[in-house]
Structure 1
Amino acid sequence: MRRGELYRVKRPSTRDPRRFRIFAVVSRQVLIESRFSTVICAPVYTAYEGLTTQVPVGTDEGMKHDCGIHCDELVSIPKAMLTDFVSTLPREKILRLDEALRTALELHND
């Protein structure tokens, strides 16, 4: 498992109406490789409003259609649930993901 990978998760929560949801792994690599049982992920939704906290993804990234990674809705997911690999984001999208996370968490350097 690596940062920037996309996984399809079955019933990620009882509140999610979808049978499956795709998530992007956003935790730092040292945490992913640790004994810690969960990683931080950002959900992928069909809605993409062009917000600075969203990253557009589509068929080039293994999606069935255009959608967006929503960095304002980070969740912790057990590593054991991340078994259905979809794809790896290209470097350009990982850089956009980094910027969206900085914006969502207000981590800009002044």
Structure 2
Amino acid sequence: MKKLKIYYCLLFIISSCIAKKDVYGNYQYKGVSYGFSKEYNLLIKKDSFSMSYKSQDASPKCIGKWNIFQDTLYLRCNKEKLVTNMLSRGYMNQRDYKLKIIGSKRLKMLKENIILSKK
């Protein structure tokens, strides 16, 4: 019984490490929503990420930290220190994102229901 628990713990740790290696890179989505073009760009680095969104009237961006739990990638934007940045059209109101990992080249944004593909 004890050996079985150790085996599962090691398997979980190894699978977590493999998933983190596969997730690095540039992801992109281009599409149309309600008649307007929409574009997401996501760059995942070893210890941080940057995401930008472009639509007709806005182009918000955010930089932050990420982590993976099972098959879900969690993005958390850094806190903005300047109020003027928060009031600009470059401020991303949503600060937390959940993305489901779909293989090594695709991520699904759960709230937006869109799929980002690796470049």
TM-score, reference length from structure 2: 0.28
Between the two structures, name the one with larger relative contact order (CA 8 Å, sep ≥ 6).
Answer: 1
Higher strand proportion, which one? Answer: 2
**Greater C-alpha radius of gyration:** 2
TM-score, reference length from structure 1: 0.29
